Amino acid sequence: MNYCATCDGFFYKGKEVAVIGGGDTALEEALYLAKICSKVYLVHRRDSFRSAPNTIQRVKKTQNIELVLNSSPDEVYGDNMGVIGLKVKNTDGEIRDIVVPGVFTFVGNDVNNETLIQEDGSFLCDVNKAGEVIVDISMKTSVPGLYATGDMRIAAPKQVVSAAGDGAVAALQAISYVDEKLNG
């Protein structure tokens, strides 16, 4: 299983892969993979996507993307060498076997924001509807001296290298904040 087309896509150059999901990330990653893979099976549990209309149109126009709609993953299977394929079940209960060496999953993430929940159930700082912490470019939250980084912040690219960069920014900001409080 893979969770980053940019990171792992080159391992499947010229091969067939499957992408699971129906949102913006899944469709964008399918489009990226279609440029380097021979075929991309886009598996989605519904018959429509939750993505920007122009992204949906680009996916539908891409010759080597096959839509596998109204279907959910039933089993990813393989051997000692890795993934061999994906079995999907459609709404009629029929199983389809898609033989691919790579499966990419983009079905959404739960934000790990439990540490910000107060006793009354409210959040310590401002969050959006998805529970992501609202920050500015300096990783500052709505609470002075509180910074949020990585996947828990808004517009996070969900990449380790980006989270590390966020951490560096937040650390420098926190040092400045503490210095200002101590010396100001």
* Choice among 4, 24, 74, 125 that is catalytic: 4
Token readout for 170 is 């937040």
* Choice among 8, 24, 74, 125 that is catalytic: 8
| 121 residue type, one letter | G
Give the Cα separation of 155 and 169 in Å (integer).
15
**Residue 170 CB coordination number (10 Å):** 21
Would you call 4 a catalytic residue per the annotation?
A: yes
Would you call 7 a catalytic residue per the annotation?
A: yes
Give the three-state DSSP class for 167: helix
Give the Cα separation of 21 and 43 in Å (integer).
6
Residues recognised as catalytic: 4, 7-8
